[in-house]
Amino acid sequence: MRDVVVIGGGPVGAFLAALLAERGLDVTVWEKRRTTPPSSRAIGVHPPALESFTRIDIAEQVVERAVEIRRGIARTGGRTLGSVSFARVSDRFPFVASLPQFVTQALVEGRLEALAPGALQKGVELLALDDVQPDRVRLHGRVDGVDVFEVARFVVGADGPRSAVRHLLGITASLQAYDAPFVMGDFRDDTGDGDDAVVHLESAGVVESFPLPAGRRRFVIRTEQAMARPTPETVAALIGQRIGITPDAATGTGVSAFATRRRMAERLVRGRVVLIGDAAHEISPIGGQGMNLGWLDADALAPLLVAGIERDRVDTAALETFEADRLKAAWRAARQAEANMSMGRPSSGLKKAARDFGFGLALASPAKHLLARTYAMSRG
């Protein structure tokens, strides 16, 4: 019998497995996909996540490969409204590390393989889950048309917003779709903004830009209507119209459109099965907190699973506290994402003037330190 089976080998599931393997647990991961997607929706690794990464000794590797964003700037019409510094958000990591998700994923997977060779099993689809026994959970999966079975003391669903684990448990999840379409793309960085993140609050809608390694920059643009098939040319032209700097379309990669939504599971724990990451809470990517939220779920859950294995029992009270705390954190992040989307919607005339004035006032006051801590998910 395994100590823990993790369903979902994305950045959150693989990280949890590495945390557990580092503590000596017998853990395996079932991942339905055979390959890691080459595109990266998420890029920001916030200070609390970097602190968590120190527990599996990959924080330094992440920082070495990333761009350290130490300041965010707000502009409109080429005019600077103000800036925020991340200098006070963490003593050890006073920045947001910008690194494509697939690179971070590779570092997590590499550490898991070093700690527990063969623990990550790709191409395995979960078909059934039986959690009626008081001391174990039975799992039925399939790989290459062959049925596979496992028995575990604990199971963790980290299998994304359409979680099979959540579905098999019958746990409902409320869904809120927002009328806020976006497009994004990565281009050679010709802005001259260096390692700063810049938010352009323009009349036609926000343009966010973030530095990436190798002299590239991620642009995220709110659009009036959803785009079916954006191209590097259309996205580059849109950026040029909004901020006056048109990226070289020939350098564009990762161009895509996405919708924004919020999905919250009504509960995260049932007996010996726990949901984390997007399986537990999917929030708008605007603000960049979703993936980090999942890592912090894993960091909070790992010691509870270790204690449960060592004592050979389920600490119901501790898991109930975990559930309450992580749902509270998810709702807080969701509200922050909603505020970010509201700030970036199209605006003109007196409404835009009032918004710009208020934003500039906040960035010139001590409140900017709170804004920095909120964005960077600082626990302090």
Quick: pLDDT tens for 156-214.
999 999 999 999 999 999 999 998 999 999 999 999 999 999 999 999 999 999 999 99
Write out the DSSP string of 293-345.
HHHHHHHHHHHHHHHHHHHTS--HHHHHHHHHHHHHHHHHHHHHHHHHHHHTS
pTM: 0.95
Q: Residue 94 has which token pair?
A: 């006073």
Q: Residue 72 has which token pair?
A: 């965010």
Q: Quote the CA–CA distance of 320 and 327 in Å, as a whole number.
A: 11
> What pLDDT, on the 0 to 100 scale, is given for residue 379?
59
Residue 380 has pLDDT above 60, yes or no: no
Which domains are present in the chain? 2-43+100-177+261-342 (3.50.50.60), 182-260+345-375 (3.30.70.2450)
Closest CA to 86 of 142, 52, 141, 46: 46
Closest CA to 236 of 260, 209, 212, 215: 209
At 222, the pLDDT band (50, 70, 90 cuts) reads very high
> What pLDDT, on the 0 to 100 scale, is given for residue 288?
81
At 373, the pLDDT band (50, 70, 90 cuts) reads confident
Rounded alpha-carbon distances, angstroms, from residue 164 to 8, 128, 170, 217: 10, 9, 10, 35
Q: Quote the CA–CA distance of 2 and 15 in Å, as a whole number.
A: 18
Tell me the angle at which helices 349-363 and 367-375 cross, rounded to the nearest 10 degrees. 90
Q: Quote the CA–CA distance of 285 and 283 in Å, as a whole number.
A: 6
> What pLDDT, on the 0 to 100 scale, is given for residue 144?
95
Mean pLDDT of 100-114: 96
Side-chain half-sphere exposure of 194, counting CA atoms within 13 A: 8
> What pLDDT, on the 0 to 100 scale, is given for residue 30?
98
Write out the DSSP string of 160-213.
-TT-HHHHHHT--EEEEE-S--EEEEEEE--S--TT-EEEEEETTEEEEEEEET
Quick: pLDDT tens for 36-54.
777 678 899 999 999 999 9
Quick: pLDDT tens for 268-326.
999 999 999 999 999 988 878 899 999 999 999 999 999 999 999 999 999 999 999 99
At 235, the pLDDT band (50, 70, 90 cuts) reads very high
Quick: pLDDT tens for 46-94.
999 999 999 999 999 999 999 999 999 999 999 999 999 999 999 999 9
Locate tokens 């990464």: which residue?
53
